[in-house]
Amino acid sequence: MYFPCGLVQIGYSTRDAVFGWLDRRLPKRVEAAKPRAVPRARAAARVSAVEVQCVLCTEEVAVRFGGRTAVDSVNIRVDAREVVGLIGTNGAGKTTLMNAIGGYLRASGQVELLGSDVTGLPPDQRARRGLGRTFQAARLFGDLTVRETFQVMLEARHRTGFISTALFLPRGFRVDRAQRAAEEIITFLGLGRYADTFIAELPTGTRRIVELGALLAVDARVLCLDEPIAGVAQRETEAFGPLLLRIREELDASLLVIEHDMPLVMSISDRIYCLEAGRTIAARTATEVRKSPAVIASYLGTDERAIQRSGAAPAPRPTLA
């Protein structure tokens, strides 16, 4: 009852009390006029996305399942600080292509991330090099709170050593300070009221925001988002576009977004790729894609080939003279 965390709680409580006393005695630092909203612990050790023109490039990427070709020699390019939309009908190969980019599927061709060839690397190695990925269904631990989720993700940046933590060594203190970055992410995403809420109890839209926050915690520079507003209420989707653009500005990040919500894609994308049957049928700006006959035919089914595959067109009804 008195020490629910065990005897080690005495040491932690003593340490926190000492640090709190020191913090009150130290002079307050003058904060900068505009502090950074999201911490970037590895900025000095990695290649900045701004230094590389093409942060994500694929060359002749193809994915085959037996005799079926799901992605057929697709070339895409995402430049620094760019939002690129990836659209197409169901079964067009969008998610399969994104899985190939993330290393989740065996694929031929080449994938380049932030100037490095990552074709043969597994997903975890690509993530360490700055590639972040969300899925159609938010894959989060339901029995963790929002704060705990971000703290777990921050472990990817700063591993907590058992010995340094148990013996209160300086490295353990630095890790504790780094863990406070979770509070910065919570504040940045406006999740303060949900900080201690379990993931399983969150509405779908809020879980989507937490999933984006997890990418911020691992310091991703290229974000691959697979239908980020799937299952989200319409009134909540309107806030996602500005949020994604704000994340791009704060992190100097680039985004590859799969989404069926055309108003959202058109409003945030600098360029759009459209896939059909695993092939690229359009790679243009949002305005040009909106007027592309090939894209219109792919979505609306006005292509004569689609009519022929579906059978003969019905004969017109006779009209009265």
Query: pLDDT tens for residues 198-214?
Result: 999 988 888 888 988 88
Q: Give, in words, the CATH class of 49-139+222-234+254-300.
A: alpha beta
Mean pLDDT of 269-277: 90
Whether residue 236 has pLDDT greater than 70: yes
Structure tokens at 98: 């994104």
The per-residue pLDDT for 302 is 55
pTM of the model: 0.72
Tokens of 127: 């993530």
Q: Look at phi and psi of residue 74 and say left if phi exceeds 0, alpha if psi is from -120 to 50, else beta.
A: beta
**Residue 179 burial (10 A CB sphere; 0-12, 13-18, 19+):** middle
Average pLDDT over residues 116-141: 87
Q: Which of the given ranges, 107-111, 226-230, 236-240, has the highest pLDDT on average?
A: 107-111
Indicate the range of 36-50, 193-207, 217-231 predicted with least confidence: 36-50
C-alpha angle with apex 216: 210 to 220, nearest 5 degrees?
Answer: 130
Amino acid in the structure at residue 133: R
Q: Please report, for residues 29, 156, 182, 183, the alpha-carbon distance to residue 176 in angstroms, rounded to integers and kept in the order given.
A: 20, 14, 11, 12
Tens of pLDDT along 51-100? 567 899 999 999 999 888 999 889 999 998 899 999 888 888 999 999 99
- Report yes or no: 101 and 84 within 8 Å, Cβ to Cβ: no
